[in-house]
Amino acid sequence: MKTRYQITGTTRLNNLVRLFLDRQDLVKEQEPGIMSALADMEGMQLKMQQKAVLMQQPDVISIPFEEWKKKQYKIGDYIWIDITDE
């Protein structure tokens, strides 16, 4: 399954470059109205907590420096990553 990510930061570690990523959902959930939010306050609070944790602990991948040098990934760039289950 391919997932779209936006690069939010980079760090070089010897011969690797770490890319800090923010997952970009192509289909956004509809923002709940006031009435549905009041009806499901616990669910809304849980979603907000999960979103806060993801912002504090972004997804990270490491790629070889040579590959980074070819592509020159920058903050704000979008990449697609193919995630497979084994």
- Tell me which amino acid residue 52 is: A
- Tell me which amino acid residue 75 is: I
**Which residue shows structure tokens 């499901």?**
40
Return d(Cα 86, Cα 68) in angstroms, integer: 26
Average pLDDT, the chain: 82
Taking the domains of the chain in order of start, what are their residue ranges? Answer: 2-27+36-82
Q: Identify the bridge partners of residue 68 per DSSP, sorted by sequence position.
A: none
May I ask the CATH class of domain 2-27+36-82? mainly beta
Q: What is the pLDDT along the chain (86 residues), one digit of tens a residue?
A: 788 999 999 999 889 999 999 888 766 556 666 666 667 778 778 877 877 776 677 788 999 999 999 988 999 999 998 878 77
Return d(Cα 6, Cα 9) in angstroms, integer: 9
Return d(Cα 30, Cα 23) in angstroms, integer: 17
pTM of the model: 0.65
Length of the chain: 86
